[in-house]
């Protein structure tokens, strides 16, 4: 067995948010492990670029547009891939947005926008994939949460609420779908170098403060999310469900920066 446990040969995987950042890295990583990957994103041109790059390197991939806020579109996309390939083995959902504002300054529209994508969108994906996978009696669903599901900073209250909500949806889905042979888990990254974190990277003090909070003293690269996601998608995680895999460089393990005397 060995490393074969992590192979995804003959597997069909859908990666949502595959046009850039973590989603792109995961799509490339799953394809590298042998999966046929469907790269889905609202930005279909960028998703096609990723799929083309995978195929050019010897992998198998295709691309399509998807807005996970629209439940009918999510259902249709999943059903189309089942019709085309006969089954779906793994679904990974990465997209989210954040409006950084104190709660008292949040507008109704901003609240609705964050919740619609992060929480409802993730629910739409989980439900559509769950329906298919329970019928086929197997599959792995991986939804992206965040360290903000358990720790907070000012200005991220609504984002954090959606990420905590994802964790509870994942746990409920794992309990409900487990008897049908379907596994459901969450990945919770810390701070990751992606296009979405460019505003933070542009502020050196902010960037460095985040790096110091990690016990490894640095940000994560997007490709460092591939291994944990591949694990959860693969047979190596055949008895893993209902869990949250923190990929945060120790952020949530350490509660302060002060080093007591004699500890150096």
Residue by residue, pLDDT tens for the chain (264 residues) are 566 999 999 999 999 999 999 999 999 999 999 999 999 999 999 999 999 999 999 999 999 999 999 999 999 999 999 999 999 999 999 999 999 999 999 999 999 999 999 999 999 999 999 999 999 999 999 999 999 999 998 999 999 999 999 999 999 999 999 999 999 999 999 999 987 788 888 899 999 999 999 999 999 999 999 999 999 999 999 999 999 999 999 999 987 665 656 655
Exposed e or buried b for every residue in 140-178, given b needs 16+ CB within 10 A? bbbbbbbbbbbeeeebbbbbbbbbbbbbebbbebbeebe
159 is known as an active-site residue: yes
Report which DSSP code applies to 117.
I
- Single out the catalytic residue among 159, 207, 210, 239: 159
Fold of 2-190+224-247: Rossmann fold (3.40.50)
For residue 80, CA distances in Å to 17, 73, 190, 205 come to 18, 10, 34, 47
pLDDT of residue 260: 58
Render 40-83 in DSSP notation, one character per residue.
EES-HHHHHHHHHHHHHTT-EEEEEE--TT-HHHHHHHHHHHHH
pLDDT of residue 129: 98
Other beta carbons less than 10 A from residue 235's beta carbon: 15
What residues are paired with 62 via a beta bridge?
A: 38
pLDDT of residue 258: 58
Domain ranges of the chain: 2-190+224-247
* pTM of the predicted structure, to 2 decimals: 0.95
Q: Which helix (H) or strand (E) holds 36?
A: strand 36-41
pLDDT of residue 199: 83
Task: Please check whether residue 201 is in contact with residue 193, taking contact to mean a CB–CB distance below 8 angstroms.
Answer: yes
pLDDT of residue 194: 87
């Amino acid at each position: 067995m060995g490393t074969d446990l992590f192979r995804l040969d003959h597997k069909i995987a859908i990666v949502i948010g595959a046009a850039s950042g973590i989603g792109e890295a995961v799509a490339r990583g799953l394809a590298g492990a042998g999966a046929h990957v469907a790269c889905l994103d609202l930005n279909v041109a960028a998703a096609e670029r990723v799929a083309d790059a995978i195929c050019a390197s010897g992998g198998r991939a295709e691309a399509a547009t998807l807005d996970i806020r629209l439940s009918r579109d999510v259902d249709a996309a999943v059903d189309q891939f089942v019709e085309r390939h006969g089954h779906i083995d793994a679904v990974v959902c990465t997209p989210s947005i954040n409006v950084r504002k104190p709660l008292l300054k949040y507008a109704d529209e901003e609240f609705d926008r964050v919740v619609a994508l992060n929480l409802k969108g993730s629910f739409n994906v989980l439900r559509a994939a769950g329906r298919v996978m329970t019928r086929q009696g197997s599959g792995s669903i991986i939804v992206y949460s965040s360290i903000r599901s358990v720790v907070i900073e000012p200005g991220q209250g609504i984002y954090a609420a959606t990420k905590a909500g994802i964790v509870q949806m994942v746990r409920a889905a794992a309990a409900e779908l487990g008897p049908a042979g379907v596994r459901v888990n969450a990945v919770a990254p810390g701070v990751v170098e992606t296009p979405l974190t460019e505003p933070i990277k542009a502020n050196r003090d902010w960037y460095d403060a985040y790096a110091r909070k990690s016990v490894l003293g640095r940000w994560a690269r997007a490709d460092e999310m591939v291994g944990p996601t591949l694990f959860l998608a693969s047979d190596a995680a055949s008895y893993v469900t209902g869990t949250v895999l923190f990929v945060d460089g120790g952020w949530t393990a350490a509660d302060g920066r002060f080093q007591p005397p004699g500890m150096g």
